[in-house]
């Protein structure tokens, strides 16, 4: 182990052209530790301003992209004049090493895993491509290095995109000169190979190459050197025989993704994902998270055990070191007991902050008096699903209060999407949420509360002042809590609601990137009591289903199987009973139909026959 500022480097993970990556531990108060990844720039690049700017750009771009399919950036700093990035540690392997392990075992890459990888990476790319700055300006982010080494599969079944080191964004400091090629050659788009300006469709080209290589277990292109390969890419040349044996449904997706002309490709990552999922069959339907976890554990059993032993040893060594330094540390702290903030670090975007106000919302946001509600109703007659859908369709700004005495929750909406939620339940306070999530121990919680009270701070400010967590970790935890508060409302079987038009939180809020229809999908599929779903459809088994309304909202994120059901309804208008009999999964069909009926994309009509 090697000390590196407040981090301890445990294992060397990998080396790249610009930096080394380590598995590391960060230490907090009362023995708190957390595993992170540290990306440390190569020392021979320290004198080259261009590389320092690129390194800073990576942290600035990726730190704003808080999404389950993107590796999170926690911190940017400097130790002994060596810049570093602290990021989320994903316990798993990158796609390159998964492919390499399978090849060594003479095994094929599972097609169902391939479709899942593309589905998840497309979801992450769509978020990055559509990202706006806090002032509403589109950032026009293009990753430019989508490749197997930058796609990570966790041992728990997650898929994440990483390494925005050569990403293009509107406000990065180091801009690419015209004619300069960025990214790994084998995955570069034709326009990238020419050194032309690239947009989001360039990332989709790279992802199409990744899909082809997963399915064929072979490179899509071979060449004696990179120059010849670049010339082939510019012309759109490759051996089509390498994908001819693939099913037509998958081959069609690859063909469109890697079209030479960007105008012939998918316009967005979302369009590519949805088209892929609409074409899958039982042999290519995406794996579940649990299935991916089982696959990864079987493939990397020894690696997992080795990492566990290493992690246990590191924890024990840190504990012994902390115990031996207890006395010295007590004498070294200042009168307030909190470490002084870092200074003199030109790269640290989080350093130099004294305890005090920061750009985060108060977690117990006060509800300002707004007069009588503009709309009132009962959840027994107006479902939460249809209510949130209506707010999204009308792009509502305001506050929705949901009451089930003595519980009261308030959800604030901007342009039809939730931006914040408050609750009067003690267990839903932010500190209690962090404790329940395992991000904070009970002892740490008490210490932070005491520190906040003595310093007159908010709880969140005390968390940062005591270095218990970084701002980005705080923001991502806040986003998860708001999401969970809203999803919990789907478990309610009774209650009332009040809507206040144009009501806003009393404190500024962060862009949490929550989408109403995504929450509807998750709420209906995971939280809504099955009894409510059954009751709504019990008398409708012999009625026919008819497609109505506009298009399916993109952020509903229907799976490939769900999209097939929608097409079946459009083509055949089957009865509910017939659809259940055909799919042999009553609960799954009932939940899908309930959701589509509640958002006015289906209607039930009497069977004329």
CA distances from 70 to 63, 67, 424 (A): 10, 5, 32
Would you call 130 a catalytic residue per the annotation?
A: no
Q: Which residues contact 473 (CB under 8 A, 6 or more apart)?
A: 72, 74, 439
Is residue 247 a contact partner of residue 284, using CB atoms and an 8 Å limit?
yes
Tell me the percentage of the chain whose pLDDT exceeds 70: 82
Domain boundary among the residues 299, 318, 349 is at: 299
Q: Are 402 and 421 in contact (CB under 8 A)?
A: no
Q: Strands of 417-423's sheet, edge to edge?
A: 375-378, 496-501, 398-404, 407-414, 417-423
CATH number of the domain within which 198 lies:
1.10.510.10
| pLDDT at residue 148 in the model | 94
Q: Which residue did the predictor score with more confidence, 352 or 47?
A: 47
* Cβ–Cβ under 8 Å, residues 155 and 303: no
Same domain, 6 and 114: no
Q: Are residues 454 and 570 in the same domain?
A: no
Q: What local confidence, expressed as pLDDT, does residue 166 receive?
A: 47
pTM of the model: 0.55
Mean pLDDT score, 556-563:
86
* Locus of tokens 């730190």: 63
* pLDDT at site 336: 42
| pLDDT single digits (tens) 485-519 | 888 888 888 889 999 998 887 765 555 678 899 99
For position 471, what pLDDT does the model report?
Answer: 60
**pLDDT confidence of 354, banded at 50, 70, 90?**
very low
How many CB atoms neighbour CB 267 within 10 A? 13
Alpha-carbon distance of 349 to 417, in angstroms, equals 29
Q: What is the pLDDT of residues 139-184, one digit of tens each?
A: 888 988 899 999 999 999 999 998 875 444 444 333 333 333 344 7
Q: Do both 26 and 114 map to the same domain?
A: no
| C-alpha span between 161 and 141 (Å, rounded) | 14
Whole domain around residue 476: which residue ranges?
Answer: 375-515
Task: Indicate the length of the chain as a whole number.
Answer: 609
What is residue 330's predicted lDDT score, i.e. its pLDDT? Answer: 46
In a domain, 131, yes or no: yes
Structure confidence by residue, pLDDT tens digits, 402-460: 998 888 889 999 999 998 888 887 666 788 878 877 777 888 888 888 888 888 877 87
Model confidence at 276: pLDDT above 70: yes
Average pLDDT of the chain to the nearest whole number: 81
Q: Specify the DSSP class assigned to residue 544.
A: E
Mean pLDDT of 314-335: 58
| 48: confidence class by pLDDT, cuts 50, 70, 90 | low
The pLDDT, as a whole number, for residue 335 is 41
pLDDT value at residue 333: 44
Residues 486 and 593 in one domain: no
End position of a domain, from candidates 493, 515, 537 = 515
pLDDT at position 529 over 70? yes
| Per-residue pLDDT, 350 | 33
pLDDT, mean of residues 43-72? 75
Residues 62 and 101 in one domain: no
**Number of domain units in the chain:** 4
Catalytic residue among 57, 145, 203, 401: 145
The pLDDT assigned to 154 comes to 94
Asked if 132 and 159 sit in the same domain, the reply is: yes
Same-domain pairing of 154 and 237: yes
Mean pLDDT of 108-128: 95
Nearest to 24 by CA among 15, 41, 11: 11
Same domain, 198 and 117: yes
Please report the pLDDT score of residue 177 as a whole number. 36
């Amino acid at each position: 182990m090697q000390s590196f500022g407040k981090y301890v480097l445990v294992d060397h993970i990998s080396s790249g052209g610009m930096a080394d990556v380590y598995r590391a531990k960060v230490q907090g108060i009362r023995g708190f530790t957390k595993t992170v990844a540290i990306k440390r720039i190569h020392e021979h690049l320290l004198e080259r301003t261009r590389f320092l700017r690129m390194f800073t750009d990576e942290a600035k771009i990726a730190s704003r992209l808080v999404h389950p399919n993107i590796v999170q950036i926690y911190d940017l700093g400097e130790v002994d004049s060596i810049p570093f990035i602290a990021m989320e540690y994903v316990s798993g392997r990158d796609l390159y090493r998964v492919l390499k392990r399978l090849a060594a075992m003479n095994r094929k890459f599972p097609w169902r895993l391939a479709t899942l990888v593309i589905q998840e990476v497309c979801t992450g790319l769509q978020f990055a491509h559509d990202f706006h700055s806090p002032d509403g300006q589109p950032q026009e982010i293009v990753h430019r290095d989508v490749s197997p080494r930058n796609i990570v599969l966790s041992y728990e079944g997650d898929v994440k995109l990483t390494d925005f080191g050569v990403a293009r964004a509107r406000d990065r400091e180091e801009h690419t000169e015209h004619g300069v090629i960025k990214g790994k050659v084998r995955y570069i788009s034709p326009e990238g190979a020419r050194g032309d300006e690239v947009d989001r469709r360039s990332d989709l080209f790279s992802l199409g190459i990744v899909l082809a290589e997963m399915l064929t277990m072979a490179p899509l292109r071979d060449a004696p050197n990179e120059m010849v390969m670049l010339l082939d890419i510019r012309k759109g040349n490759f051996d089509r025989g390498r994908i001819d044996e693939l099913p037509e449904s998958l081959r069609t997706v690859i063909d469109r993704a890697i079209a030479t002309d960007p105008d012939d490709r998918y316009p967005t990552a979302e369009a590519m994902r949805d088209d892929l999922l609409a074409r899958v069959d039982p042999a290519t339907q995406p794996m579940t998270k649990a299935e991916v976890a089982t696959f990864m554990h079987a493939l990397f059993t020894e690696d997992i055990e080795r990492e566990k032993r290493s992690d246990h040893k590191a924890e024990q060594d840190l504990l012994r070191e902390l115990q031996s330094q207890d006395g010295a540390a007590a004498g070294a702290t200042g009168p307030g007991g909190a470490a002084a903030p870092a200074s003199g670090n030109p790269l640290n975007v989080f350093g130099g902050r004294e305890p005090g106000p920061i750009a985060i919302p108060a977690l117990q946001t006060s509800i300002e008096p707004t007069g009588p509600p503009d709309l009132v109703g009962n959840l027994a007659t107006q479902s939460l699903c249809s209510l949130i859908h209506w707010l999204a369709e009308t792009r509502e700004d305001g506050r929705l209060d949901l009451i089930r005495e003595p519980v009261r929750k308030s959800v604030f909406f901007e342009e039809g999407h939730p931006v914040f939620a408050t609750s009067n339940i003690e267990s839903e306070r932010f500190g209690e949420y962090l404790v329940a999530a395992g991000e904070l121990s009970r002892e740490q919680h008490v210490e932070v509360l005491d520190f906040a009270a003595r310093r007159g701070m908010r709880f969140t400010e005390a968390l940062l002042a005591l270095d218990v967590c970084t701002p980005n970790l705080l923001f991502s935890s806040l986003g998860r809590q708001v999401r969970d508060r809203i999803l919990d409302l789907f478990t309610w079987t009774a209650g009332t609601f009040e809507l206040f038009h144009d009501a806003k939180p009393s404190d500024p809020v962060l862009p949490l990137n929550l989408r109403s229809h995504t929450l509807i999908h998750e709420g209906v599929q995971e939280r809504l009591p099955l009894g409510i779903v059954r009751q709504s459809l019990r008398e409708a088994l012999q009625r026919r289903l008819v497609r109505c309304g506009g298009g399916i909202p993109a952020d509903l994120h229907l799976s490939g199987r769900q999209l097939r059901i929608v097409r079946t309804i459009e083509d055949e208008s089957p009865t509910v009973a017939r659809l259940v009999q055909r799919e042999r999964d009553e609960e799954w069909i009932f939940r899908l139909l309930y959701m589509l009926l509640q958002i006015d994309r289906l209607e039930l009509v009497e069977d004329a026959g």
